[in-house]
Amino acid sequence: MSQFEYVAIAVSLVLSFGVVRILNGFSHVLNGENRYWVHTLWVVVSLANFAVAWWGFWSASDVPAWHLGSFLAALMYPALLYVGAALLVPGDASRITRWRSHFYGVRRPLFLTYLVATVFALGVGIVAAEWSTLELLGGSIFTAIYTVGLVSRDERVHRTLVIVALATFVAMYVPAIYIASG
């Protein structure tokens, strides 16, 4: 087993814990009586983040040697995504009576977590010089989204932010799906 494979197992486990967290509560999130579409779309964005993080980790297969610092750095982004997932969909999701109230109740720690994760990933992408201009632009857009989400309480702003986040994901990754399969 290579060092990359060893590290990839740990990263994959943390990412899978986050996906499982979301999927375990997804039926409650979709409950028609108390569903809040802004929250539901952020859950979708979170799932997309997990998929992109897992796929993007392959670029680390070129790292010639791993040490404890690089291992911990590799786990940082997935761990922060997990924290975000746990904030969006808590373990006791069946107890949430209003997802709108829940979303605005966790808004600040959620966006702070995603902001730290994004700034960290941007820093790694810049230092490693492995991110494309499109990825840097997308990371910058998400940094702005999470910053505004952190400071704004306005529901209209949050409606706009989640739509911009989804549009950014579509613009960045849907073409890559077709280019890779073409």
Q: Provide the mean pLDDT of the chain.
A: 89
Q: What is the pLDDT of residues 123-167, one digit of tens each?
A: 777 776 667 777 788 889 999 999 999 999 999 999 999 999 999
Rg (CA), the chain: 17
Taking CA 170 as the corner, what is the angle to CA 117 and CA 20, rounded to the nearest 5 degrees? 55
The pLDDT of residue 181 is: 44
Query: What type of residue is 73?
Result: A
Domain count for the chain: 1
pLDDT band at 56 (very low <50, low <70, confident <90, very high): confident
Which structural domain, as residue segments, surrounds residue 10?
Answer: 3-181
Quick one: pLDDT band at residue 58, thresholds 50, 70, 90? confident
Would you say 15 and 50 are in contact if contact means Cβ atoms under 8 Å apart?
Answer: yes
